[in-house]
Structure 1
Amino acid sequence: MSIRLRATRPDPALIRLPWNVPLADWDPALDVPLARGISRHVVRFVRAGDTVVAVKETRESFANREYGLLRNLDRIGVPAVKAVAVVTGRETPVGEPIEPALVTRVLPQSLPYRSLFSHKLREDTLERVIDALVLLLVRLHLEGFYWGDCSLSNVLFRRNTDELEAYLVDAETGELHENLSDGQRAYDIDLLRTNAFGELLDLQAGGMLGDEDDAVEIVDQIVQRYEGLWEEITGIEEFGLDEMWRIQQRIERLNERGFDVEEIDIVTDLGGDYVRIQPKVLDAGHHCRRLRGLTGLDVPDSQARRLLNDLDAYTASHELGDEDSMTVAHQWLTQVYQPLEEMIPTEYTDVVETPQVFHDVLVHRWALSEAAGHEVDFFETARSYIENELPATVETLRTAAAAT
């Protein structure tokens, strides 16, 4: 058999997988036990060297197209799984053709929506799922990506500080344009409404969603939040000259959601009494880019914002405000962040990541300090959290990940 592997950085371990066997017949010993979502394709999670990948059988044209789309989404910084390879030319030992395969990198510490609701991590899981899904769809549309198959099933959710972040998993029906028309956006929203309604009913039938939760109201809420966020980002606002503070307020609201403002189009009326503004928004990631530039850490935006807040607090408490920001960031990295990273037991690192543990330690510190009536030392708090709280968190996440 002569297979063709299209990949940017092919791993020899990937080439050694049994491509002459249909995925459905692969040895179960190859499988990595991960939470599995609903898919119309045969999908296997396997290890290729140090990387866990998802292998999906599909048509060659679909595989190549999705591979290219996922690479472009990665290039522009949209939350999506990363393409690894397309494998074509597959045949059985007797020469029977086997469907090509798309290989993507498995997103660490992520769960499909059914697993989230099987083991609720918080009471407001549904609210956080809606917010994450809406933000993902808005970001995709801002980048000119028409999804064509919006649904909860085609998204993975990953914990990001106290929020969830949604990642696109299936781009098979997607299209990347310079800009989307209102009609294309409306069609995506209508698809999401239809698909999410069915998925919510399925959750309800399985006892994973309360009877008091109305699926119609929930999908209406999804659409309303999408429209509200889209208007916040792209809408035109008009106000009087004595309300110029509203420009900064608009920018701050966008920054809080993780969006940068490249410039603002400001138009005054003929009489000079009113101002009309429309921000030109860059892709989301204001905080993660700043943190990466200062420390080299590459983490989701909400976690980056929390780490930057702690870096700012560190700068103030050590009276380093006049020092070079890169020097201070390196000092914080080596004296605070990395020592905490070394404290996390190695047996937990397959489930938790340092930025999330850092956030949880800070939350734990607030609770301890409030109970003690004074500020508790950071590393004393870290030891308390790792000994008393982290084991239960890890167990909960592992249980949820094992649910299928």
Structure 2
Amino acid sequence: MTETSNAQWHDEPTDYDQTGKLPRLRPASSADPRSLGSLNITAAATDPELLDLPWHIALEQWPASALAALPRGISRHIVRFAHLGGSVIAVKETSEHIARHEYHMLRKLQRLDVPCVEPVAVISGRTTPEGEELDPVLVTRHLKFSLPYRALFSQTLRRDTLTRLIDAQALLLVRLHLIGFYWGDVSLSNTLFRRDAGSFAAYLVDAETGELYPELSTGQREYDLEIARVNIAGELMDLAEGGLIEEKVDPLATSELIMDSYRRLWSELTEQESFELGERWRVGARIRRLNELGFDVEEYAIKTAANGTEIQLQPKVVDAGHHSRRLLRLTGLDAQENQARRLLNAMDAYRADNSPTLDEEFSAHLWVNEVFEPIVRAVPRELGGKLEPAQVVHEVLEHRWYMSEREDRNVPLAEAVQSYLDDELRHRRDEAAIMLTADARTIGIDEDSEYTDN
């Protein structure tokens, strides 16, 4: 008698139907049906390759052949990385309630365009061949070119690097609070970082304690901020104990930086500003300051005082990604905010040097053809996973500027590219997917612990 799989797919729609249930698709399986059992899969899209993974085995016992060797940090859950088609996924064992809550929360955050990992599926109904029940899992897609904070550098973390990480964390927290998201477990460990020109971009990894509200109270925001301060202080103490940050760094004082960074940004984005009627230019100045911070003002309120001599300005809706959207509109290139700012500056300089009267869109097209694409094409295939293309272009342009200054001449682009490839990029770690090596412990990664994607 031939056994058939009971694996069932639930394709996750944008909205539930009137019964509150998800539509069920017909069973599909390319794996041995006996190893699947009665799996229940809720996914944003049907991906049959999910069925090729050994769901009948406890996650911490998965064979090496099924795993992707990525660094793992401390986690309260069992987390493993596995290959799925051409990407890498993170698999976390947890309760079904938590897995489904986090899955749906990540889906909502994605729709709100918040930087976070992509949810792939919730898989329940796992059993061993002997019928023993196994914990459900949440599957998320690993964020390419992202790094946990412990793996950012193979040497001692400097204070200014920590400050940039904390600033990125503060910006992420502000963006979450603006949309009404209460995190509840803010920490460097629950965040992934991607290089963003000379700074970092932060992405939310763990949403299991998060809740989405129409608006957060001051108390909710302050409590989240206090959680961040305490958690970051503990993480920095752990790094200091392992000799992974400069001795002069005070973990407690450094953790306070997130409070200052967050409050400065929140104040600029949300506080009401009053000025005299004759100072109406300050409306445009406020909006330009917000643009410089990477935010667009989609709506604002202006009120005049009863005596008619004073104006009150209140930003109502701010949307992150000002420079990224402009770069995408002009060139079709998708980049992090600070990368976009740097590339836009390079485009403006190119236009000023070559043809100031040229149409902006046409000049941007020429810049992509004559600067951006030649740099990207010059990177050998074996170095392609070192950094994402926008970061490479940013670093090449920086490298060229320093070369020109040092040698007191205008260094040709091709010469600068070759120098950068030989002197810098070739010696960088592969950040598309940092593999575990014997050096893992030198960057604070314990190969027997779980990389925190919880």
> Is the TM-score greater than 0.5?
yes
Q: Which residue number in structure 2 is paired with residue 266 of structure 1? A: 302
Kept in 2, the 8 Å contact 1:117–1:209? The answer is no
Counterpart of 2:314 in 1: which secondary structure? strand
Q: Which residue number in structure 1 is paired with residue 380 of structure 2? A: 345
Pairing of 1:73-88 with structure 2 (within 5 A): 73-88=109-124
Letter in 2 for 1:147: W
| Mapped partners of 1:356, 1:50: distance in 2 | 22
In the superposition, the TM-score normalised over structure 1's length comes to 0.93
Q: Which residue number in structure 2 is paired with residue 198 of structure 1? A: 234
Letter in 2 for 1:342: R
Counterpart of 2:429 in 1: which secondary structure? helix
| Mapped partners of 2:357, 2:138: distance in 1 | 50
Kept in 2, the 8 Å contact 1:10–1:85? The answer is no
* Correspondence for 1:66 among 102, 111, 116: 102
Q: Cα deviations across residues 267-312 of structure 1 (Å, max 9, x unaligned)?
A: 2222232222111232211111222223222221111111222222
Q: 1:393 Cα shift?
A: 2.7
* Correspondence for 1:32 among 64, 68, 71: 68
Kept in 2, the 8 Å contact 1:147–1:175? The answer is yes
Does 1:390 pair with 2:425? yes
**Structure in which a larger fraction of residues adopt helix:** 1
| Mapped partners of 1:304, 1:192: distance in 2 | 28
Q: 1:399 Cα shift?
A: 8.5
In the superposition, the TM-score normalised over structure 2's length comes to 0.83
Q: 1:76 Cα shift?
A: 1.5
Q: Which residue number in structure 1 is paired with residue 12 of structure 2? A: none
Q: Which residue number in structure 1 is paired with residue 189 of structure 2? A: 153
Q: 1:226 Cα shift?
A: 1.2
Q: 1:137 Cα shift?
A: 0.5
Q: Cα deviations across residues 303-352 of structure 1 (Å, max 9, x unaligned)?
A: 11112222223333332644361x44333323322222111111122221
Kept in 2, the 8 Å contact 1:14–1:49? The answer is no
Q: Which residue number in structure 1 is paired with residue 213 of structure 2? A: 177
Q: Which residue number in structure 2 is paired with residue 367 of structure 1? A: 402
Pairing of 1:101-116 with structure 2 (within 5 A): 101-116=137-152
Q: Which residue number in structure 1 is paired with residue 348 of structure 2? A: 312
Letter in 1 for 2:417: A
Higher relative contact order (CA 8 A, sep 6+): 2
| Mapped partners of 2:393, 2:158: distance in 1 | 19
Kept in 1, the 8 Å contact 2:298–2:318? The answer is yes
| Mapped partners of 2:288, 2:69: distance in 1 | 42
Structure number with bigger Rg: 2
* Correspondence for 1:335 among 370, 378, 391: 370
Letter in 1 for 2:352: A
Q: 1:396 Cα shift?
A: 9.4
Greater mean deviation of Cα atoms: 119-128 or 204-213: 119-128
RMSD: 2.2
* Correspondence for 2:204 among 156, 168, 191: 168
Q: Which residue number in structure 1 is paired with residue 312 of structure 2? A: 276
Q: Cα deviations across residues 225-273 of structure 1 (Å, max 9, x unaligned)?
A: 2112111110111122343333222222211221111133222222232
Q: Cα deviations across residues 337-372 of structure 1 (Å, max 9, x unaligned)?
A: 222211111112222111001000110111122133
Distance of aligned partners of 1:351 and 1:289 in 2 relative to their CA distance in 1, 3 Å threshold: same
Letter in 2 for 1:314: Y
Percent of paired sites with the same residue? 50
Gaps (5+ residues) in structure 2?
Answer: 1-36, 446-454
Kept in 1, the 8 Å contact 2:110–2:118? The answer is yes
* Correspondence for 1:137 among 150, 164, 173: 173
- The total of aligned residue pairs comes to 403
| Mapped partners of 2:120, 2:193: distance in 1 | 20
Counterpart of 2:133 in 1: which secondary structure? coil
Kept in 1, the 8 Å contact 2:157–2:246? The answer is no
